[in-house]
Amino acid sequence: MRSFKQKHYKPMHPDLLRYSCQMALPGFNEAAQLRLQRSKVLVVGAGGLGCPAAQYLAACGVGMLGIADYDTVSVSNLHRQILYNAADVGLNKANLACERLSRQNPSINIIPVIEKITSANVIQLIDGYDIIVDCTDNFETCYLLNDAGVISNKPVIYGAIYQYEGQVAVWNVLNNEGLRSPNYRDLFPQVDATKIPNCAEGGVIPTLAGIIGCMQANEVIKLITGNGDLLTGKVLIFDALTMQSRIIGIGATTKTNITALQRSVNESTITFDELQKELIDNDILLIDVRSIQERDLDDIGGIHIPLDELGDNLQQLAIDKTLVFYCATGKRSAEAVKLVQQNLPHIKAFSLQGGIKDRAVIN
């Protein structure tokens, strides 16, 4: 009978056992895992991108994970925001996400941030973190996180989705020469948000959110552990229909000079219950900023001006009335309020909080 020498392996610390498969990777050892456990990552946006990104960052052992989102779950979120279910509708996303991720990995520190991020608080909110993961769905917050990251010398992992296409990039990473890689403003100096439909209007395939969110988590892991080629100085564009991707280079170092934050425009909101009371006693003009197709399906009254046409029709708005803009979820109507505040600051304007989904028709 052949005899075999028994191999002696150093037993793995119980705290590291759950990470044994990733620690078996070439170039990914115990030291890399400890870097993950010492890292502090803030995921901004607990929606389609933030759910998968946060799940994998929690699973891989990021030591401190912040989840920032002041929004609540709606029915239309459920097809792509996989941390939530039907019983969660109306509840805060950040609190729900932290509760579920804590059960997934109770050994890490997970912190909910339920404040809306603005120019007044963004520097303070990101101060305790090493890396910012931008999983937001609006341009104002995207620019705000980018600029705050540059000013605070923190990398930002960017992701975006629309219909069948997604984008991923890594902004503001320090290179060996002491220079920073490009940031969002190197790619898009400025975007007119009113000209670009969001997911509620243009649609999005749910699996794309999972793919791009996982790619963002992958870039965070690479950045922390020092493994692989980061998406710095370039943007990855992925097409979910063809399953093809391409990488576009945008340069080795930033060409922008960001020294201050752009002041956030105040977003005035009104709830559905408050609106019904105000309609009785006040002169209010309802303005639907959705597409014509959405209005045909669900209409609570008022006039119709799609968001992408609002800028050309501002002078037609009644200056003697209080304007209440509405859309499906409250995001486009918030953009409409900002547009009015920027161009007609003397007009009182509100956004219908949460939009009109799952709400009764106003008579």
Residue 236: helix, strand or coil by DSSP?
Answer: strand
Q: Which of 313, 305, 269, 312 is nearest to 289 (CA)?
A: 305
Enumerate residues 6+ apart whose C-beta is below 8 A from 225: 28, 32, 35, 36
CA-based nearest residue to 354, from 54, 49, 10, 89: 89
Neighbours of 197 (CB within 10 A): 17
Phi-psi region of 183 (alpha: psi -120 to 50; beta: other; left: phi over 0): beta
Contact between 122 and 112 under an 8 Å Cβ cutoff? The reply is no
Query: Looking up tokens 């890396």, which residue turns up?
Result: 131
DSSP codes joined into one string, 181-206: PP-HHHH-S---GGGS--HHHH-B-H
The catalytic residues are: 199, 327
Residues in the chain: 363
Element (H, E) at 47: none
